[in-house]
Amino acid sequence: MRILLSNDDGVFAHGLKCLVKAAEPLGEVSVVAPDREQSAASHSLTLHHPVRPRRIDERTWQVDGTPTDCVMLAVEALLPERPDFVISGINHGQNMGEDVLYSGTVAAAMEGLSLGIPSFAISFAGGDLRADTSMLDEQIKPLSLLLRHLTSLPAYPTHTLFNINMPPVSGGEIKGVRLTRLGRRVYSNSLMPMKDPWGRDIFWIGGGSIEWSGEEDSDFRAIADGYISITPLSLDLTHDQCLSDRESWWREP
Interacting residues toward Mg ion by CB under 5 A: 8-9, 39, 91
Question: Cβ of residue 1: shortest distance to Mg ion, in angstroms?
Answer: 26
Q: Closer to Mg ion by CB, 2 or 17: give it.
A: 17
Q: Closer to Mg ion by CB, 26 or 100: give it.
A: 100
For residues 235 and 161, the answer to whether their CB atoms sit within 8 Å is: yes
Q: Closer to Mg ion by CB, 5 or 26: give it.
A: 5
109 secondary structure, DSSP code: H
Question: Cβ of residue 23: shortest distance to Mg ion, in angstroms?
Answer: 18
Question: Cβ of residue 21: shortest distance to Mg ion, in angstroms?
Answer: 19
Q: Is 172 left (phi over 0), alpha (psi -120 to 50) or beta?
A: alpha
Q: Closer to Mg ion by CB, 95 or 114: give it.
A: 95
Q: Is 9 left (phi over 0), alpha (psi -120 to 50) or beta?
A: alpha
For residues 214 and 98, the answer to whether their CB atoms sit within 8 Å is: no
Q: Closer to Mg ion by CB, 40 or 177: give it.
A: 40
Question: Cβ of residue 91: shortest distance to Mg ion, in angstroms?
Answer: 4
Question: Cβ of residue 223: shortest distance to Mg ion, in angstroms?
Answer: 16
C-alpha 159/C-alpha 166 separation (Å) is 23
Question: Cβ of residue 123: shortest distance to Mg ion, in angstroms?
Answer: 8
C-alpha 66/C-alpha 41 separation (Å) is 7
Q: Burial letters for 47-75: b for 16+ Cβ neighbours within 10 Å, e otherwise?
A: eeeebebeeeeeebbbbbbbbbbbbbbbb
Beta strand pairing status for 85-92 and 228-234? unpaired
Q: How far is CA 194 from CA 197, 199, 239, in A?
A: 10, 9, 40
Beta strand pairing status for 60-63 and 119-124? unpaired
| Closest residue to bound Mg ion by CB | 39
Q: Closer to Mg ion by CB, 26 or 122: give it.
A: 122
Q: Closer to Mg ion by CB, 34 or 53: give it.
A: 34
Question: Cβ of residue 206: shortest distance to Mg ion, in angstroms?
Answer: 12
Q: What is the dihedral of CA 67, 69, 74, 78, to 10 degrees?
A: -140
